[in-house]
Amino acid sequence: MNKGQVENKVKNNIIKGTLIIVLLSILSKVTSFVEEIVLAAFLGTTYKSDAYYALLSIKDVIYPMLNVGVWKVFLPIYKEKIVNNKYDEANEIANNIITIFTIASLVITLLMFVFSDLVVVFLAPGFSKTTKTLCSKLIRLSAPMDIFIVISAVYSAMLQCHNKFFGSQIREFVSHIPTIVAALLFYRFYGVYALVVALIVGRLLKYLIELPFVNWGYKYKPALNIKNKEIKIMFKRLPPTIIAEGANQINVLVDGIMASTILVGAVSSLRYGSKLTAIFGGLISGAVATALFPQIVEFIALDNEEGLSKTIRKIMDIFMLIMIPVSLACVMFSNTMVNAVYKRGAFNDYSVGITSKVFACYSISMFFIACSTILNNVFFGYGDTKTPMYTSLINLFLNVLFNLILMGPFGVVGVALSTAISDIIIFVYRVICINKYIEFENKNIIIDFLKVLLIAVIACSFAKIICINISVNAYLELLIAGISGISTYYLLAKLFKIQEVNDIIEYVFYKK
pLDDT bracket for residue 462 (50, 70, 90)? very high
By the 8 A CB rule, do 191 and 43 touch?
no
pLDDT at 332: 92
By the 8 A CB rule, do 303 and 1 touch?
no
Residue 328 has pLDDT above 80, yes or no: yes
pLDDT at 456: 92
pTM exceeding the 0.85 threshold for the entire prediction: no
pLDDT per position as a tens digit, 248-306: 778 877 888 888 777 777 888 888 888 888 877 777 777 777 777 777 888 888 888 88
pLDDT at 510: 47
Computed over every residue of the chain, the mean pLDDT equals 83
pLDDT at 120: 82
Between the alpha carbon of residue 382 and those of residues 234, 244, 410, the distances in Å are 13, 16, 41
Q: Nearest 5°: CA angle at 434, between 428 and 440? A: 85
pLDDT at 13: 60
Nearest Cα neighbor of 105 from 134, 70, 75, 157 is: 70
Residue 397 has pLDDT above 90, yes or no: yes
By the 8 A CB rule, do 56 and 270 touch?
no
CA distance linking residue 149 with residue 282, whole number of Å: 21
Using DSSP's 3-state secondary structure scheme, residue 496 falls into coil
Q: Tell me the residue range of the domain where 490 lies.
A: 3-508
Helices 229-260 and 47-68 meet at what angle, rounded to 10?
A: 160
Residue 508 has pLDDT above 60, yes or no: no
Residue 512 has pLDDT above 50, yes or no: no
DSSP structure string for 479-490: HHHHHHHHHHHH
CA distance linking residue 288 with residue 18, whole number of Å: 5
CA distance linking residue 7 with residue 25, whole number of Å: 26
Give backbone dihedrals phi and psi of 347, rounded to 5 degrees, phi first.
-90, 95
pLDDT per position as a tens digit, 308-319: 888 888 888 888
pLDDT bracket for residue 3 (50, 70, 90)? low
Q: Which residues contact 346 (CB under 8 A, 6 or more apart)?
A: 40, 41, 42, 43, 44, 45, 46
Burial of 230-269, coded b for 16+ CB within 10 Å and e otherwise, reads bbeebeebbebbbbbbbbbbbbbbbbbbbbbebebbbbbb
CA distance linking residue 92 with residue 226, whole number of Å: 11
Q: Which residues contact 348 (CB under 8 A, 6 or more apart)?
A: 44
Q: How many domains does the chain have?
A: 1
Q: Classify 45 in phi/psi space as left (phi over 0), alpha (psi -120 to 50) or beta.
A: beta
pLDDT per position as a tens digit, 365-390: 999 998 998 898 899 888 888 999 99
pLDDT, average across residues 228-235: 84
pLDDT per position as a tens digit, 27-37: 887 888 788 88
* Beta bridge partners of residue 347, listed in sequence order: 344
Helices (H), 115-191: 116-123, 129-142, 145-161, 165-174, 177-185, 187-190
pLDDT per position as a tens digit, 280-290: 777 777 777 77
